[in-house]
Amino acid sequence: MENIIEVSGLVKMFSNQVALKDVSFTVKKGETFGFLGPSGSGKTTTIKILTAQLAQTDGEAIVFGVPASKLRGAGYRKKIGVLTDNSGLYVRLSVYDNLKLYCDLFDVPYTRIDEVLDMVNLKEAKKKVISKLSRGMLQRVTLARSFLHKPDLLFLDEPTSALDPVNTKHIYKGLDNLKEQGTTIFLTTHDMNEAETLCDRVAFLNEGKIQLLDSPKALRKKFSDNTITVELADGSKDIINRGPEGAQVMYNYMSENKVVSIYSNEPTLGDIFVEVTGRKLS
Ligand SMILES: Nc1ncnc2c1ncn2[C@@H]1O[C@H](COP(=O)(O)OP(=O)(O)OP(=O)(O)O)[C@@H](O)[C@H]1O
């Protein structure tokens, strides 16, 4: 499968401080790639390098087959969408008028505005002035703007950090839609459920390096202790091993009608991150 992003040996220093020590990964066309790490681990710095807003100190960052630093032309601008905490919106204009400006910039018909506002559940606020929006509403307008022009590659830096669960779910549906249309998504988040829900693969960034990279499912399997917990009718719990011995124990419980519920002890992505790095994600 074609690689849309190829990063190898990426280093970024700010004065004497190392933000990225040695980062390497690839992102395939059409995948949703989660870039996870604790605060200050270099996620935003990586997005800025990949979108030509910052120059790396060393290493390679290739996007669409060219060095990221060369992505400045109008052709590339149309292929890439970016959501960061810098909203880039005119605070005295309405939501609609802001998006109209971006339609003009990207040569997109105004009919697209209602489509993207629908995707972020914000149709009713279209006439509101930006300065009067709540933090969550502002995040949704910024998100709508980031994919207004149907980019091939979308960078989302913590897209749901200010949203309530209903809007978060709505956004997930919208992102699924974009994925179905072939958009490649590079996503940073602190929210491990979000990563599990949206991402085909996740990379754990810590201390300037990638510590793990795989699909959430493969990581959970790799770090599983191969046990399941059985909750019994008397309120007690038994942890049993998978395999023939555990099967016999399970059979006995079942035939004595003692089983209330059974669940797997696979770790969450958050558990795995803590185990590998000894650090919490937020
Ligand atoms: N312009 C800058 N000048 C100096 N240091 C910077 C600059 N930008 C980032 N840093 C430092 O680089 C490191 C990585 O920052 P970055 O913003 O990439 O982290 P992050 O993983 O995105 O964090 P968060 O999850 O809090 O957004 C931090 O130590 C930060 O202080």
Residue 46 belongs to domain with CATH number: 3.40.50.300
Within 10 angstroms of residue 177's Cβ, the number of other Cβ atoms is 12
C-alpha distance from residue 179 to each of 69, 176, 199, 240, 241 (Å): 26, 5, 10, 39, 38
Judgement on whether residues 89 and 16 belong to the same structural domain of the protein: yes
Task: Dump pLDDT digits (tens) for 51-88.
Answer: 998 999 999 999 999 999 888 776 788 899 999 776 68
Whether the per-residue pLDDT at 281 is higher than 60: the answer is no
Given this model, what pLDDT does residue 76 score?
A: 81
Judgement on whether residues 23 and 110 belong to the same structural domain of the protein: yes
Judgement on whether residues 151 and 207 belong to the same structural domain of the protein: yes
Which of 164, 193, 220 represents a domain boundary (last residue)?
A: 220
- Is 189's C-beta closer than 6 angstroms to any atom of ligand 1? no
Banded model confidence at residue 276, pLDDT cuts 50, 70, 90: confident
Domains of the chain: total: 2
Judgement on whether residues 152 and 54 belong to the same structural domain of the protein: yes
- How many angstroms separate the alpha carbon of residue 42 from the centre of ligand 1? 6
Best of 16, 36, 44 for a ligand 1 pocket test (most atoms within 8 Å of beta carbon): 44
Give me the mean pLDDT over the 29-33 stretch. Answer: 97
- Is 27's C-beta closer than 6 angstroms to any atom of ligand 1? no
Judgement on whether residues 259 and 201 belong to the same structural domain of the protein: no
The per-residue pLDDT of the chain, averaged, comes to 91
Judgement on whether residues 125 and 164 belong to the same structural domain of the protein: yes
- How many angstroms separate the alpha carbon of residue 230 from the centre of ligand 1? 44
* Dihedral sign from CA coordinates of 201, 137, 178, 96: negative
Judgement on whether residues 142 and 82 belong to the same structural domain of the protein: yes
Domain that holds residue 214: 3-220
Whether the per-residue pLDDT at 282 is higher than 60: the answer is no
Instruction: Tell me, yes or no, whether 275 lies in a domain.
Output: no
Given this model, what pLDDT does residue 280 score?
A: 61
Judgement on whether residues 33 and 155 belong to the same structural domain of the protein: yes
Judgement on whether residues 232 and 209 belong to the same structural domain of the protein: no
Given this model, what pLDDT does residue 1 score?
A: 67
- Is 56's C-beta closer than 6 angstroms to any atom of ligand 1? no
Task: Dump pLDDT digits (tens) for 190-230.
Answer: 888 899 999 999 999 998 999 999 999 999 988 888 889 99
Q: What span, in angstroms and rounded, lies between the C-alpha atoms of 83 and 159?
A: 7
What backbone phi and psi angles, to 5 degrees, belong to 83? -115, 115
- How many angstroms separate the alpha carbon of residue 211 from the centre of ligand 1? 18
Q: What span, in angstroms and rounded, lies between the C-alpha atoms of 139 and 17?
A: 30
Whether the per-residue pLDDT at 151 is higher than 80: the answer is yes
- Is 216's C-beta closer than 6 angstroms to any atom of ligand 1? no
